[in-house]
Amino acid sequence: MDQCAVDVCQQFLGILKVERRLSLNTLKAYTRDLAQLAMYCDEQNIAIWDELDSHHMRRFIAQRHRKGLGSRSLQRELSACRSFFDYLIKTKQLLNNPAAGIRAPKAAKPLPHVLDVDQVNALLDVEPSDALEVRDIAMWEVLYSSGLRVSELANVNLMDIDLSAKSILVVSGKGQKSRLLPLGGKAIKAIKTWLGVRSGQFKTDEMALFVGKTGRRLTTRNIQSRLERWRKRYGLQGRLYPHMLRHSFASHMLESSQDLRAVQELLGHSNISTTQVYTHLDFQHLASVYDKSHPRAKQKKTS
């Protein structure tokens, strides 16, 4: 680019420093981002800023993406460019902002972390050592049996459980929607054991199904802390948090049933696209089985 264009860029950075009082790190980021844009302009033989159009900007972002820049970094570069072009428009050096309306590629959503069936069994097939552990096992069983969110588990009341019908009513789900969910045999057994302990050792007027030492309803934070304590006590490896049991429930149900709509209803997802993330997990499982089982899936070692 010609020297005049470079000087305008320096003027803009000076204004950011003096008038907007941006932090040193932010200023360094703006400087790097605009330097990348200037280098691209040199490659395209663009001498002055008003020769740059939206097609150039799209190609610039695509080029940066191909070089390995992530979505957040690209969004930051676009933000720096837009701010610079707005300055050029304000100072009547540019008519339109060539970066307006251009978006960075969306970041890929990470797949949920799930436990395999053996890990779930290791978590749940533990002999409780006290009343609180009886309660904990019942909580983990309900999370895995019915795919509840931790906030939904904390809000379950005694009247929401129907052991004869083998069901649990979730009345405060996400979006304030209610859904009736089945309870598995292991969860029912764990709840019955807990109810016996609850009535004997936790005499309280609290309507919550799961209460603490004081007889009051557990918070989501209480439940999270107990699960982490459980993980450490019983030597379970890796991360463990309540939502992993919900993810595991969904993944295992889909893997066995292949019924995406049913899993959507059980999870309480309003949009099936939210549930579809578990199809990726299912494919990973299938691909793993394929790699281990297919006679021509692995390349033979060459000497």
Overall pTM surpassing 0.85 (yes/no): no
Assess whether 146 and 86 both reside in one domain.
no
Q: What is the mean pLDDT of the chain?
A: 83
| In a domain? residue 64 | yes
* Cα–Cα distance, 162 to 188 (Å, whole number): 9
Assess whether 73 and 169 both reside in one domain.
no
Give me the mean pLDDT over the 193-205 stretch: 89
* Cα 274 to chain centroid, rounded: 11
Assess whether 243 and 280 both reside in one domain.
yes
More confident residue, 284 or 262: 262
| In a domain? residue 210 | yes
pLDDT at residue 57 above 70?
Answer: yes
Q: Which residues contact residue 221 at a Cβ distance below 8 angstroms, ignoring those fewer than 6 apart?
A: none
Predicted confidence at residue 223, as pLDDT, reads: 95
Assess whether 153 and 63 both reside in one domain.
no
**Amino acid in position 161:** I
Assess whether 132 and 52 both reside in one domain.
no
Strand partners, 161: 168
H-type alpha helices, 44-176: 54-66, 71-90, 117-124, 131-146, 150-155
Could you list the active site residues? Answer: 149, 174, 243, 246, 269, 278
| In a domain? residue 103 | no
Assess whether 25 and 76 both reside in one domain.
yes
Assess whether 141 and 71 both reside in one domain.
no
Assess whether 209 and 64 both reside in one domain.
no
Q: Which residues contact residue 142 at a Cβ distance below 8 angstroms, ignoring those fewer than 6 apart?
A: 148, 153, 156, 168, 183, 187, 190, 191
Pick from 18-32, 106-120, 131-145, 267-281 the range whose average pLDDT is largest.
131-145
Query: Over the stretch 237-280, which tens digit does the pLDDT of each residue have?
Result: 777 888 888 888 888 877 777 777 777 777 777 777 676 666 66
| In a domain? residue 100 | no
The pLDDT-based confidence of 172 (bands split at 50, 70, 90) is: low
Asked whether the beta carbons of 147 and 246 are under 8 A apart, the reply is yes
| In a domain? residue 301 | no
The pLDDT-based confidence of 220 (bands split at 50, 70, 90) is: very high
Asked whether the beta carbons of 95 and 89 are under 8 A apart, the reply is yes
How many helices and strands in the chain, by DSSP H and E?
13, 3
| In a domain? residue 168 | yes
> How many domains are contained in the chain?
2
More confident residue, 282 or 76: 76
CATH of the domain at 53: 1.10.150
Assess whether 175 and 55 both reside in one domain.
no
Query: Phi/psi class of residue 99: alpha, beta or left (left: φ > 0; alpha: ψ in -120 to 50)?
Result: alpha
Give me the mean pLDDT over the 110-117 stretch: 76
- The domain containing residue 35 runs over which residues? 3-90
Helix (H) or strand (E) holding 281: helix 277-293
Phi, psi for residue 177 in degrees, rounded to 5: -100, 150
